[in-house]
Amino acid sequence: MEAGSLPPEDSRPLFGAGLNNIWNTCFLNAVLQCLTHTVPLVEKLRASDHYSTCSAGPGEFCALCALRHHIDNCLYLSGYVFTPKHFASNLSKILSEFELGSQEDAHEFLQCLLIRVHDCCIGLVSGNQLLSVGDDTDSLIKQVFGGRAISRLRCSDCGHVSDTFESLLDLSLGIDGMASLTEALESYTKVEMLEPSECDGCHAKVPKEKQLKLDQAPQVALFHLKRFKMDGAGVCKINNLVEFPLDLDLQPFLSSPQDEEQLNYDLYAVVVHHGNMDRGHYFSFIRSSQSSWHLMDDADVARCSAMQVLNMPAYMLFYIKQGSSPWISSFIRDWRDKNFGFGESSRRSSSMDSPETREDQSPGTDDTPESVIYEVEGDSSSSAPLRPCNQGGISYGAEKKPPLDEVMKQSAHH
């Protein structure tokens, strides 16, 4: 695709591109949309020198380079749709069990991709084998998503305490019977009594109290809601609506809360699974500014309200620490101004606003109308003609994909 075939950068929307579904790749698209709109990750990927020093040879797959290239495409092709062929054709390089055409789990794909990128950062890539996120190794993935949990055992007799720490990139929460994210977090951090065992302090065989809490909170808090469980007949899906807030306070769930540390988070991305274990479809909701949300369902992109998002049966939730990063709309404004220079009015609007400072925005003011959404066949290097997205996208496979109006009606009925 030639650069001249695109409309001017300053006339296009301030969020990423839509993604074609190649063959049951909705799980891939939903996750990539959330990562593309994670500004701290985008900033660190673009600042990393790995891209220019990568040792991957021709035909070899580097997850870090692939993710950065994908995000660059999404930013450049905002308002358009393209096909993430490089990721789709290399699924088995992310996890050997993944294969194109299979309906994979979005959470498993996200975990594997983050670990792959982490391993690329620290030079621990070994064939198709996934290595672990070590406690003492740092990377841009751990800087963005990395947190730490503490498991505390307390002797009910002598009070002896022993702590075990675990590095986290996300937190999986049980939701069976839970009405809200807060209730699920309270259940995760509640004290439970264990069967009697020998105490390291008094050496008596006594019951112990066990409690899990967050020891270190991440910049981006990623929650996986466990919607699939085993029952007598196999695996079934938990379909109940779990309420989640636009802003979340993690202080109550920290092992040692500190008044001076701000732990308020803004919701900015949601992944939803529609359907059941045998046949389903993933899509995402993306927040580009304080007041602007979009449904990003493969090649289909539509504005929506925050209330519609909050009424969805979420599968994964992405929260970012307030004040730690600009919204993606502000990031794109700044990027365009630095790279294309649209004059004084553009420069005035391109400041890297934090979520807290954009409350004066009215819904939709930072985005152009839906008519600017186009489809690009192939990747960003093709020269395929552009056409409006509503003239039909490319979609293969047998996913149980609900129409856009059904998705919106679903949220209105909750």
Whether 248 and 319 have beta carbons less than 8 Å apart is answered as yes
CA triple 172-218-325, angle to 5 deg: 125
End-to-end CA, the chain? 43
Number of CB atoms found within 10 A of residue 122's CB: 15
**How many helices, marked H, and strands, marked E, lie in the chain?**
13, 18
- State the sign of the Cα–Cα–Cα–Cα dihedral 62, 68, 73, 79: positive
**pLDDT tens per residue across span 345-390:** 333 333 333 333 323 332 333 333 333 344 444 444 333 333 334 3
Strand 264-275 relative to strand 192-198: parallel, antiparallel, unpaired? unpaired
Please name which of 342, 378, 346, 333 lies closest in space to residue 5, comparing C-alpha atoms: 378
CA 75 to each of CA 79, 336, 355, 381, 386: distance values in angstroms, whole numbers, following the listed order? 9, 9, 20, 14, 17
**Beta pairing partners, 300:** 297
CA triple 41-293-244, angle to 5 deg: 80
Whether 363 and 291 have beta carbons less than 8 Å apart is answered as yes
What CA–CA distance (Å, rounded) separates 94 from 87?
9
CA 164 to chain centre: 27
Please name which of 72, 76, 101 lies closest in space to residue 88, comparing C-alpha atoms: 101
pLDDT of residue 190: 94
Task: Check if 26 is active-site.
Answer: yes
Q: What is residue 304's three-state secondary structure?
A: strand
The number of residues making up the chain comes to: 414
CA 353 to each of CA 39, 129, 143, 293: distance values in angstroms, whole numbers, following the listed order? 12, 40, 21, 17
**Is residue 335's pLDDT more than 50?**
yes
| pLDDT band with cut points at 50, 70 and 90 for residue 56 | confident
- Locate 368 and state its tokens: 């152009």
pLDDT of residue 121: 86
Average pLDDT (258-278) is: 85
Average pLDDT (105-134) is: 75
Mean pLDDT of all residues in the chain? 80
pLDDT of residue 215: 92
Task: Check if 160 is active-site.
Answer: no
| pLDDT band with cut points at 50, 70 and 90 for residue 212 | very high
Please name which of 7, 9, 76 lies closest in space to residue 342, comparing C-alpha atoms: 9
What CA–CA distance (Å, rounded) separates 193 from 180?
24
pLDDT of residue 410: 56
- Looking at 26, 65, 199, 304, which residue is catalytic? 26
Please name which of 196, 192, 189 lies closest in space to residue 157, comparing C-alpha atoms: 196
CATH (domain of 80)? 3.90.70.10
Phi, psi of 193 (to 5 degrees): -95, 130
How many domains is the chain partitioned into structurally? 1
| pLDDT band with cut points at 50, 70 and 90 for residue 261 | low
pTM of the model: 0.82
**Beta pairing partners, 221:** 319
- Looking at 281, 294, 304, 389, which residue is catalytic? 281
Q: What is residue 188's three-state secondary structure?
A: helix
Please name which of 235, 265, 237 lies closest in space to residue 250, comparing C-alpha atoms: 265
Q: Which domain holds residue 235?
A: 3-413
